Amino acid sequence: MRMKMLRNNCTILLAALALLLLPWASAGKSLAYFTTYVSAGGGMAVEVKNPETELEEEYEGKKKIRVGNTGEVPCYVRVKAFAGELIKLTYQQGADEGEELAGEWVEGQDGFWYFTGIVGPAERTKLLEISIDAEALKALLQKTEGITGDSLPEGTEAVDARTEELLQSFNVIVIQECTRVRYDDEGKPLPYTECWEDGKQSGGEEA
């Protein structure tokens, strides 16, 4: 009789342990789900997708660039150009060319140029033209022996020729980044400045 009671008690104990461990058996799967999805109104699961962008460029004595949204979510974009510490670059928003996308390119305090408008899927920014400041380069040549280390011949024509030569040989590197558009409590998109402060950038393509 005592043996039977012990056996029954063991059975009850094992059943209780199984019930306690049951939630943990599916915890890993549930945690993995919530790291990839968020719960939307009505219980629908919505996948969180990252923005994707692509840098488009042409070169006609200056770099003409746009950034296109190749992903499935709207985003903000920014670009930065590099050409060496001694080289001054100039930026100019290109002609509209009938594009209806709202926004413009503005210079930030961190060396990036920001497009203020939201770039939706399959859309692209307005044109931004980047070029080397020829007058600043010429002034630099007149004060030094030449950026390449060679002696600079005297005379205005020689300076102009050397300036043109260097303008053709210098390469301007452009990188681009994007960040997701975020919304306030009323569902209105936040301005680009707040989204860049709060968000994490994606992309990083260079040309």
Q: Which residues of the chain have pLDDT under 70?
A: 1-48, 96-100, 142, 144-159, 169, 199-207
- Angle CA(141)–CA(164)–CA(92) in degrees, nearest 5? 95
> Which pLDDT score, from 0 to 100, does residue 203 have?
53
> Which pLDDT score, from 0 to 100, does residue 133 have?
82
pTM over 0.85? The answer is: no
> Which pLDDT score, from 0 to 100, does residue 69 have?
96
Residue range 136-149, pLDDT digits in tens: 777 777 676 544 44
E strand spans, 70-157: 75-82, 89-93, 105-107, 113-119, 128-132
> Which pLDDT score, from 0 to 100, does residue 144 have?
66
Residues 38, 49, 99, 79, CA torsion sign: positive
Phi, psi of 199 (to 5 degrees): -95, 170
Is there a contact between 160 and 138 (Cβ–Cβ < 8 Å)?
A: yes
> Which pLDDT score, from 0 to 100, does residue 49 have?
83
Return the closest-CA partner of residue 119 out of 103, 108, 106: 103
CA atoms of 101 and 115, how far apart (whole Å): 11
Q: Which architecture characterizes domain 53-206 according to CATH?
A: Sandwich (2.60)
> Which pLDDT score, from 0 to 100, does residue 202 have?
56
Q: Where do you find CATH 2.60.40 in the chain? A: 53-206
Residue range 82-125, pLDDT digits in tens: 987 778 899 998 876 666 678 899 999 999 999 999 999 999 99
CA atoms of 18 and 12, how far apart (whole Å): 10
